[in-house]
């Protein structure tokens, strides 16, 4: 929620899991948030990054590594790492 000056005044803004799109509860202490930085051709940081939030449920199932590979492949950070199999 915003006040009259346009500032955010919420005490807690919930996050969504990047892999499952479920809300991450405030008491989910097993969840992680990972920032992956963008680099230029010389390998130097550009100052921008992409944030991935992974819920504790995904981590407890052992699917967080596959989820991060899938998300980073679709965003263009990785190539030839993850491919869909039925």
| pTM confidence score | 0.79
Query: What pLDDT digit, counting tens, does each position of 22-32 carry?
Result: 999 999 999 99
List Cβ<8 Å contacts ≥24 apart for 4-10. none
The rounded Cα 65 to chain-centroid distance in angstroms is 12
Nearest Cα residue to 24 out of 12, 14, 33 = 14
Query: What pLDDT digit, counting tens, does each position of 36-77 carry?
Result: 999 999 999 999 999 999 999 999 999 999 999 999 999 988
Alpha-carbon distance of 60 to 75, in angstroms, equals 24
Alpha-carbon distance of 26 to 85, in angstroms, equals 34
């Amino acid at each position: 929620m915003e006040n009259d000056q346009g500032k955010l005044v919420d005490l807690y803004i919930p996050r969504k899991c990047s892999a499952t799109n479920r809300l991450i509860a405030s008491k989910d202490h097993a969840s992680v948030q990972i920032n992956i930085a963008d680099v230029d051709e010389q390998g130097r940081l550009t100052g921008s990054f992409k944030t991935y939030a992974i819920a504790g449920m995904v981590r407890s199932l052992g699917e967080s590594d596959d989820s991060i590979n899938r998300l980073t492949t679709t965003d263009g950070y990785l190539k030839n790492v993850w491919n869909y199999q039925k």
